[in-house]
Homo-oligomer: A and B are copies of this chain.
Amino acid sequence: MDKIYYITLLLDFYGELLTCKQKSVMSRYYFDDCSLNEIAEEHSITRQAVQDMIKRTEKLLKQYEDKLLLVDKYLKRREYVEGLLTELDSLIEKGNSELVNIKDLVKNIPD
């Protein structure tokens, strides 16, 4: 899996467990595409300190994932539901129109 996508998922699931500063640095770096220098300036710290914080925070996020497996479970569930939607599509194509509504309900299963 693409590293940036994976970190984004980790941030989605575990971001609330980070400190305000960790959240801000990670979000500027991964979501807003800011450079290390820009983030360093914003927080009045060195470029090296930003780089260290990003590395440490990534490690922390991965430790949470090792313990709780939220990203892993989410991806497995999503793959399973996609298989189910494909199955529903093939039955709808064969003329089982009652399944159109069911498909919508499956699509909207909350995460």
CA distance A68 to B67 in the complex (A): 14
Chain B residues within an 8 Å CB radius of A109: 77, 80-81, 84, 109
Q: Are A17 and B67 in contact (CB under 8 A)?
A: yes
Q: Do residues A73 and B106 form an inter-chain contact, with CB atoms below 8 A? A: no
Q: From DSSP, what is the main secondary structure of chain A's interface residues?
A: helix
List the number of copies, as a whole number.
2
Q: Which residue of B lies closest to A63 (CB)?
A: B17
**Chain B contacts for A70, CB-based, 8 A:** 68, 70
- A residues contacting B by CB (< 8 A) are 13-14, 16-17, 64, 67-68, 70, 73, 76-77, 80-81, 83-84, 87-88, 91, 96, 98-99, 101-102, 105-106, 108-111
